[in-house]
Amino acid sequence: MRHDTFVPVRNASISSLIALFSVACVGQVADVTLPRTQLDPNASASAVELGQAFNRVAEALRPTVVFIRNESRRGRVRAARTGGATPSATSTGTGFIVREDGYIVTNYHVVEGAHQLLVRLYDEREYVAELVGTDPLTDLAVLKIRETGLPVAELGDSDALRVGHWVLAIGNPLGRALSFSVTAGIVSATQRTLVSGRSGPTSVLDYIQTDAVANTGNSGGPLIDLHGKIVGVNAAIFSTTGSYQGYTLAIPANLVAPVVARLIEDGKVRRSGLGVTVEDATVEDATAVGLESVYGVVVQDASAGGGAPERAGLRDGDVIVAVDGKPIMSTAQLQRAVWFRGSGDEVSVSVRRDGGGASTLRISLQWLASEDGDEREDRPADEIAPPCSDNPLGLCLVEAGDEPAVGADPTTDARGLFVRNVYSVGPSFGKLMPNVDVITHVNGVRVRSLADLDSVLSECMAGQIVSVRTYRRRTQERGFTRVKLQG
């Protein structure tokens, strides 16, 4: 069905136009010479060359792309429960071949819950695929089909991408009818840090943002530079409607490569880390430690991970600005810097501290435990919240009581002020979590009651930056943040 709107020109209107034109010719007030459009031959040649470059890359890479159909268990379970004959629920996606013996990379969410995975190649051959391994934290998966001599896509250097570089996306949008479609766009942004909604609390990824068109079914497909190298895996669209609105997000190849290598070798990914919890630095953090711009990550709990980082000299509130001399701009960059090293490996960690002090520490990495689930506590919907009093932190606080959380370390004093709500227009919005965090210290002073808090804040002025330490009862984690007091 076409949606073009045509406005017909009626015969009377045409006659009127002819009559007006005749009058104008008779009058001949002045000769009118229309300027001739001049085409820049160099510009035309450049456009042709760009189109030819697109064509060369597309023709070379399309045979490495595959169409994936996921026959989900959910459909079979639903049919069994209802007693009907409803077939398995199916969904489709994209992948690309990385080894000639049949290894294929795609997104985890493309294969999630699969009862059977079917792969169709560009030349129409179809296979039942084996699921080699998945990594939900990075939304990546590896499949294998029983075939050899397949064309292979080569991963490139995503760190070499710059805003404005041309890229191509190949995928299967909206199902089989539009399979192996090619779209072009530019890199709109790099290091676009977002928190994945499908993984644990540390799932913070640096995405490549592009305006190459993608829709449902493009997930798992390659993002390709004009050298024919895979620079990313298309994973999501940023949309308010569920369909393309101009923003496509891709997992960078420099993160894809080590994940895929481990999935092929072990079927899973094991990561190492510093053994501390961190958050991206804020303006208040940068001001407190004397940074000229906002970057780095703030240590929330140096005693986590058995206390080894704390013994190495790391403190709560330290801002990590580099690892092994490489600048750390965000949590995602810190993860990439340490994730794929071995437990026991030592790294050099550069930190900035309150007052502008700087220090370089040697810290041994340790294996990270798996992190799943939501750390928000479930609370009765009809629970009546106690009244809140205004405070310059922009929080609704209640006294948490004297009893520690169930299962909490008895040596940890978890008493303090429970964060009932974080006001969206207040200075703590985005820093503290309602119904999760308990404030235990402000500016290093222990607070167990609202009176304790009032006493500490009475010595502070509006606009002053204060440090806030927290405890999360369910996960038994300590946190650290800085808040600029409101007037």
pLDDT by position in tens, the chain (length 487): 334 332 333 343 434 433 333 333 444 545 666 666 666 767 677 888 899 999 999 999 999 999 999 987 654 434 333 344 444 578 899 999 999 999 999 999 999 988 899 999 999 999 999 999 999 989 999 999 999 999 999 999 999 999 999 999 999 988 777 889 999 999 999 988 775 544 333 456 789 999 998 888 899 999 999 999 999 999 988 766 666 667 899 999 999 999 999 999 999 999 999 988 888 999 999 999 999 999 999 998 887 766 788 888 999 999 999 999 999 998 888 988 999 988 889 999 999 999 888 999 999 998 887 544 333 333 333 334 455 656 889 888 888 764 444 344 444 556 788 888 887 667 888 788 888 889 999 999 999 888 889 899 988 988 899 999 998 876 778 889 999 998 6
Q: What is the pLDDT, as a whole number, of residue 209?
A: 94
Residue 242 sits in the same domain as residue 293: no
Residue 97: inside a domain: yes
d(CA 470, CA 393): 14
Residue 362 sits in the same domain as residue 419: no
Q: What is the pLDDT, as a whole number, of residue 249?
A: 92
Residue 414 sits in the same domain as residue 480: yes
Residue 27: inside a domain: no
Residue 413 sits in the same domain as residue 462: yes
Q: What is the pLDDT, as a whole number, of residue 324?
A: 95
At 121, which CATH number? Answer: 2.40.10.10
d(CA 281, CA 86): 51
What does the chain come to in residues? 487
Largest CA distance in the chain: 102
How many structural domains is the chain composed of? 4
Helix (H) or strand (E) holding 235: strand 230-237
Residue 249 sits in the same domain as residue 325: no
User: For residue 232, what are the CA distances in angstroms to 15, 229, 278, 464?
Assistant: 59, 9, 26, 43
Q: What is the pLDDT, as a whole number, of residue 105?
A: 98
Residue 276 sits in the same domain as residue 261: no
d(CA 87, CA 312): 58
Residue 190: inside a domain: yes
Residue 329: inside a domain: yes
Q: Which of 248, 266, 284 is the last residue of a domain?
A: 266
Helix (H) or strand (E) holding 155: none
Read off the pTM: 0.68
Residue 32: inside a domain: no
Q: What is the pLDDT, as a whole number, of residue 449?
A: 87
List of residues 6+ apart from 27 with CB closer than 8 A: none
Q: Which of 81, 113, 144 is the last residue of a domain?
A: 144
Q: Which of 266, 297, 321 is the last residue of a domain?
A: 266
Residue 18: inside a domain: no
Residue 86 sits in the same domain as residue 138: yes
What one-character-per-residue DSSP string does 362-400 give?
EEE-EEPPP--S--SPP--TTPPPPP----TT-EEEEE-
245-275 burial by CB neighbour count: b if 16+ within 10 A, else e? eebbbbbbbbbbbebbebbbeeeebebbbbb
**Which residues lie across from 365 on neighbouring strands?**
none
Residue 335 sits in the same domain as residue 430: no
Residue 254 sits in the same domain as residue 351: no
Coil/strand/helix, residue 3:
coil
Residue 379: inside a domain: no
Catalytic residue positions, numbered: 109, 139, 219
Helix (H) or strand (E) holding 72: strand 65-72
User: Residue 214 is part of which domain span?
Assistant: 158-266
Q: What is the pLDDT, as a whole number, of residue 115?
A: 87
d(CA 71, CA 36): 60
List of residues 6+ apart from 401 with CB closer than 8 A: 415
On the 0-12 / 13-18 / 19+ scale of CB atoms within 10 A, 80 is exposed
